């Protein structure tokens, strides 16, 4: 463990995370006004990262639990790394929510003022349950020799919980009736992308750890690559259904993502995150090439992150105030820029430097957390 803490990569990740904490303290002191968010675009990069981490965590947990539930002995080498990915990412998802709240000193109101009718309350409850179940499942895997049945029991709870977690995450957005671009299709799309991003992260983690069975020529790597290609194909199909339907019916969403302001994010997702990885994984021989599988997995993760960003921002792209002057942006610039800049029906959003630094720090914290947790617990299973 001492060698892990002194590793240059670990030190670099810790430094980036520490810088992020410093910028977050600056945000607490000055408010969310330092971000690119305003009254018209009230959710931004933090919530996109929350969606990303929540989906990855659910996908990784579903993989780890499925190995236990269905007795996939050949896949056992990746089970503990998958469980570690799940708990680290779900914790980072919770951190992203806390970042977006702004006033962390009032977080206790989320508990005492819980509105059980709100999808946001459901999300908080399911995230908390996921953290607890993830921790119990990982502990059961690491100490399996003491109680071989406990891991199986918890896995049967974890598997449906993983699906529920990402579904509730989608409902938070899809049930916002004032947002034209968010609808019922979000839940299946989120589940599909959770599976491919979760598996992609697990593959990258296992290749980085040089987990036994994933060396070049080993059959396990080929199986993972084939499964990832299937998940990517399903994800592509669901996205195609959503956009094709929107285009045929003349919905504004189609123009927004195909040729509008969100087109760069959409096409990066489709080309780099879906089509290219599928071609790389489906090509003969590439499934047993660690470099090709790792590259395809990394592209899948980039694509899913882009998806989370364009899905989030599409909900704020259309005016939901049809008459009158609109609403105030709530920013300092709008207050000092005259009447013309105070009232608006639509807004624009671009992450600020502090916002981006904090988001990068969360990713660094996720990588650091995986390294530390795995080194602490993985040896217990041996």
Mean pLDDT score, 312-325: 73
143 has pLDDT over 90: no
Predicted pLDDT of residue 214: 72
Q: Which residue has the tokens 């190995």?
A: 67
Q: How confident is the model at residue 352 (pLDDT cuts 50, 70, 90)?
A: very high
Predicted pLDDT of residue 126: 94
Predicted pLDDT of residue 277: 97
Residue 127 to residue 81: CA distance in whole angstroms: 20
pLDDT greater at residue 382 or residue 257: 257
Phi-psi region of 177 (alpha: psi -120 to 50; beta: other; left: phi over 0): alpha
Predicted pLDDT of residue 78: 93
Question: Is the CB of residue 54 less than 8 Å from the CB of residue 127?
Answer: yes
Predicted pLDDT of residue 257: 92
**Lowest-pLDDT choice from 159-173, 203-217, 249-263, 362-376:** 203-217
Predicted pLDDT of residue 218: 66
200 has pLDDT over 80: yes
Output Rg (C-alpha) for the chain, integer angstroms: 21
Residue 314 to residue 307: CA distance in whole angstroms: 10
Predicted pLDDT of residue 108: 82
20 has pLDDT over 70: yes
Percent of the chain with pLDDT over 70: 87
Question: Is the CB of residue 213 less than 8 Å from the CB of residue 206?
Answer: no
**Lowest-pLDDT choice from 79-93, 155-169, 172-186:** 172-186
Question: Is the CB of residue 269 less than 8 Å from the CB of residue 307?
Answer: yes
């Amino acid at each position: 463990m001492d060698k892990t803490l002194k590793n240059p990569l670990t030190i670099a990740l810790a430094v980036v995370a520490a810088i992020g904490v410093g910028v977050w303290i600056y945000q607490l002191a000055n408010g969310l006004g330092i971000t690119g968010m305003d009254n018209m675009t009230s959710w931004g990069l933090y919530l996109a990262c929350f969606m990303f981490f929540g989906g990855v965590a659910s996908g990784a947990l579903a993989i780890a639990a499925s190995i236990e539930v269905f007795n996939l002995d050949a896949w056992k080498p990746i089970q503990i790394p998958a469980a570690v990915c799940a708990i680290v990412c779900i914790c980072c998802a919770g951190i992203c929510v806390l970042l977006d709240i702004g006033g962390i000193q009032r977080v206790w109101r989320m508990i005492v003022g819980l509105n059980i009718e709100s999808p946001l309350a459901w999300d908080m409850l399911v995230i908390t349950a996921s953290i607890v179940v993830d921790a119990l499942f990982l502990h059961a895997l690491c100490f399996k020799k003491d109680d071989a049945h406990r891991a199986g029991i918890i896995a049967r709870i974890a598997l449906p919980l993983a699906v529920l977690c990402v579904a509730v995450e989608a409902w938070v957005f899809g049930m916002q009736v004032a947002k034209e671009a968010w609808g019922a299709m979000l839940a299946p799309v989120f589940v599909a992308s959770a599976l491919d991003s979760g598996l992609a992260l697990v593959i990258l983690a296992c290749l980085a750890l040089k987990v036994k069975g994933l060396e070049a020529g080993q059959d396990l790597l080929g199986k993972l690559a084939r499964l990832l290609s299937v998940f990517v194909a399903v994800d592509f199909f669901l996205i195609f259904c959503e956009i094709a339907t929107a285009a045929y019916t003349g919905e504004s969403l189609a123009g927004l993502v195909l040729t509008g302001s969100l087109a760069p994010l959409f096409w990066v997702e489709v080309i780099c995150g879906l089509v290219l990885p599928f071609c790389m994984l489906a090509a003969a021989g590439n499934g047993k090439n660690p470099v090709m599988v790792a590259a395809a997995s990394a592209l899948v993760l980039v694509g899913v992150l882009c998806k989370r960003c364009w899905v989030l921002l599409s909900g704020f792209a259309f005016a939901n105030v049809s008459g009158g002057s609109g609403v105030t942006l709530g920013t300092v610039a709008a207050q000092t820029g005259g009447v013309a800049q105070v009232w608006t029906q639509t807004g624009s959003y671009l992450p600020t430097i502090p916002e981006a630094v904090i988001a990068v720090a969360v990713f660094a914290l996720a990588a650091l957390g995986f390294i530390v947790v795995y080194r602490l617990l993985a040896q217990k299973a041996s």
